[in-house]
Chains A and B, each alone.
Chain A
Amino acid sequence: MPIGDLAPELAVLFTAVAILLLAMVLPQDRHGWCAALAAAGLGVAMVLAWGQAGAERLTFSGTFAIDGATTWARLAIPGLTICCVGMAPRWFATDRRHGEFYAILLFSALGAMAIAGAADLMQLTVAMLLSSVTGYVLAAYHRDWAISLEAGMKYFLIGALANALMVIGVVLVMGMAGSSDYGELAGSIPSDPVTVTGLVLVLMALFFKLGAVPGHTWVPDVAEGAPVPAAAFLTVIPKLAGAVALYRVISLVPGLQTLPLLVAVVAAITMTVGNLSALWQDDVRRLLGWSSVSQTGYALMAVAVAGAVPQALPALLAFMTVYGIANVLAFAAIAELRGRTALADFSGLFRTQPYAMGAVTLAFLSFVGIPPLAGFLGKFALFAATLEGGLAWLATIAVANTVLSLFYYLRVIGPAAFDRGEGQAGTLGGTARGTLWAAFALLLIASLAWSPFWSWMPASLIP
């Protein structure tokens, strides 16, 4: 077995196991070491992934694809997970199960990496389950807090349904097409109603991962209730993975026009629902959750023109990267502000906490796509791909939604910048602040060095 092909994934796995063991022997006040170990392990995984960059092959009997998209996921997922790790040490400082958090986080990241690389429906199912099961735990990690439990429970119920549907879908496709291997399925999937139903069920499960309609309802609850580092993780990492997996599935059936159309409609509904729901939110974390739903809607535009436009995959991956960085930045700022979340508490915050609030502002403007921030360049790539693919109606809906989204982002930024704040705001400091600066720098780097970043994006997949 070409075991070296999975070196990045194995690095994450072994680190997670090591953290689990370490957390057992360390006294609680030293669990911060587990964070360092987690970050180091993820860093090693990135280095190993970088070493395999440029490869274009299937491995493990065709169940795992090592191509540009996988390489992207192997760098983006551990990279952004490191940021989530960075928010955690002080956040969980008094939690008795502090150390184990990193182990679960890494298992979940492993699941996401496996989703992104899966080139076989069975493999995809297993990876989805790994990512989901650990996700439920992460969401409910504050088990003494009802809202966190509620978030975990909702995530679990919707996830269980989505994964069950997925298994049924996989069975239907396998039964009708005779294989679960992408290499054999590519281009030879029959287009009878049963198979299409199976494919649609698989898509539904991926929509759940992505937080797209109809599987989106968990996102705001998780964003509000999960511990902030876990919320940052769950609103970013599974989405990165889900986007790649969705693109791979859609590319399997180039002839079938219904699936791209379905994705386009889902994209339109998702961005609209996300934005409308975010409009009058009085809770900033919940608002971030809904905004994350709407961002998924934009990203799906690129999937809707998959295959029709060469720029679709680069646009999708570039947009998801930028979205991930900006979302992590926003959550890092909220972690730095000790989870401050009521909208009213943000008024006048610019004066007392200029850097944290500046980070929130920058992240929000990047979500809107105000140039020259990277968010604009990502959205620009999406619009260009969508228009080139002939979906001008979808681009128009996206424009209307962007305008709508500006309104609720300004509901946070405006009072924070214009009102007079009182008193001092508590901050978390330590690695949380470090993470804030790191994400800040990442966003600026992505904005300034867009050209090499863009040309590095993979142009196609190998199924």
Chain B
Amino acid sequence: MLTLAVLAPLLASLLLAMVPLGERTSRWTAVSASALALVALIAVWFNGGDGFRAVAEVPWIPSLGIAWRVGVDGMSLALALMSALLFVAATAWPMQLHSARAYYAWMAFLAGVSIGLFVTLDLIVFYVFFDLSLVGMYFLIGRWGHGEAQHAALKFFVYTLAGSLLILIGLIVLALNMPQLTFDMRAIIDSPPLAAAGVGPGLVFLAFVIGFGIKTPVFPVHTWLPPAHVNAPGPASAILAGVLLKMGTYGLIRIPLQMMPETFARWALPLAILGVVSILWGSIVAFAQDNLKRRIAYTSVNHMGYTVLGIAVAGSALGTETARQLALTGAVLEMIAHGLITGALFLIAGAVWQRTEDYHLPNFGGLAGPAPRLTGAATLAAFASLGLPGLAGFVSELHIFLGAFGVYPWLAAIGLLGILITAALFLRMLRQMFFGDLPRERAGFTDLDRTETALLAGMLILVLLIGIWPTWLLSLIDAAALLPAIGTGG
């Protein structure tokens, strides 16, 4: 079932690459492939189960302990579901494109790769998908981006490949330290290698933190993100922020936290500090941006900072078990919430670009008049992003800070400042865009069309649902099962 969810988009991508289909057919092929993946994942969800479920295994290179292994637990299933949903929305998002067939082929390719990354249980397959996501995004940004697209794509690819190679080194060391060479995640999680204190495990941990930190991105290795976002087409930005950034934090939980808990606990405080710095840096720098997309991009740094803080707290081996569980729940929730919210925000930014070819905030104003639906969606998404109670962002940030106060109260208190600044920057953005006088050159601005409205509404209803009644998602994520038995070893 999970293999189907990965293969359907990949096969669709191959089909799109080979067969000369028209633009409409291409779009619907890509959309239905992602939708099929989504349906398969929902089926897995309804089948229920504990721990890793829907497991399947096909040998690939047995002598090296590498195999095509798939299976999901609550966290990865939730992330895969969110990714599939976001891909459906981003692919279906109406665009005026040159070489549309190739665009949809890359979108479908990226969908398969991203879902594959979340559902695989083999470290090498994980790495394969991790790298392939870079290739897909490189071509999407470079070919359909605007402005300095080629330069941004190059920077993105080189920067993140540096991270992924460090991860590869870490993965090999982990596997070599197993009693028998294997890349099976379950085996490594069950008996974490490299438990001893010392320089070696510390360096491996550092490699993972830098590698996943680049992808997340965490201050100070976030500088690839703003140019990549600004120059990418809107839906690609949504995917980049909503799905690709999650690969970093997902990896951080899955690999260092679950596979080397003792080392993680030793280095949790520096990681938490890094998270708080990202929170503050992201929000302050976002506040200073006049470019709509750049501003949203920096809030991603800020939100991923919350996630990193939550993960660091969860792995700290300090405080109560409840606090750590809360923090981890919050971190996973934040990933889902941020995926949906920022995905929606970037799609909105894409809609603005389609109409005006401009991101400069002072050039806007008074859009609430001609475009009430766009205003409504943007307002809801912005409020969710700044953490208004009743929306998804609030639930996740509440969990993270409840947990963080139980473990690192001072850091949590500093981190709260970030929420304040985020609130200010979003409110200012809304005011600049939608209220005040409509500039003359914006006179013909059209509102969202029906498809755009429906797609955004679908995503924002989920944001609302998670905000009001998060229990269903919490029981799916089941953070208690994710948390390794730390404190017993180191």
Binding site for B on A (CB under 8 A): 365, 368, 370-372, 376-377, 380, 383-384, 387-388, 392, 395-396, 399-400, 402-403, 406-407, 410, 414-415, 417-418, 450-451, 454-455
Contacts and interface: CB of A to CB of B under 8 A. Distances in A.
A309 to B, nearest CB: 10
B400 interface: no
Interface in B111-156: 124, 127-128, 131-132, 134-135, 138-139, 142-143, 149-150, 153-154
A240 B174 CA distance: 31
A394 to B, nearest CB: 11
A454 B158 contact: no
A399 B124 contact: no
A157 to B, nearest CB: 37
**Chain A interface mostly helix, strand, loop or mixed?**
helix
Given A371-B127, A383-B169, A387-B173, A410 B158 contact: yes
Interface size class of B (residues with CB under 8 A): 20 to 34
15 contacts: A370-B132, A371-B127, A371-B132, A372-B132, A377-B61, A383-B172, A406-B158, A407-B154, A414-B150, A414-B154, A417-B139, A418-B149, A418-B153, A450-B61, A454-B63
Contacts of B203: 392
Contacts of B162: 399-400, 403
A117 B288 CA distance: 67
Contacts of B150: 414-415, 418
B1 interface: no
B143 A418 contact: yes
Given A371-B127, A451-B60, A451-B61, 13 more contacts: A376-B128, A383-B172, A387-B169, A387-B173, A387-B176, A388-B176, A402-B165, A406-B157, A407-B158, A414-B142, A418-B142, A450-B61, A451-B63
B131 A371 contact: yes
B164 to A, nearest CB: 9
Interface in B149-195: 149-150, 153-154, 157-158, 161-162, 165-166, 168-169, 172-173, 176
A372 B60 CA distance: 12
B287 to A, nearest CB: 32
A417 B154 contact: no
A276 to B, nearest CB: 15
A403 B128 contact: no
Given A383-B169, A451-B61, A451-B63, A410 B128 contact: no
A414 B132 CA distance: 16
A381 to B, nearest CB: 8
A400 B128 CA distance: 19
Nearest to B163: A403
Nearest to A457: B63
B437 to A, nearest CB: 39
Interface string B57-80: 001111110000000000000000
A410 B152 CA distance: 12
A406 B173 CA distance: 24
A380 B153 CA distance: 25
Contacts of A406: 157-158, 161
Interface in B249-275: none
A384 B172 contact: yes
A414 B61 CA distance: 33
A398 B150 CA distance: 26
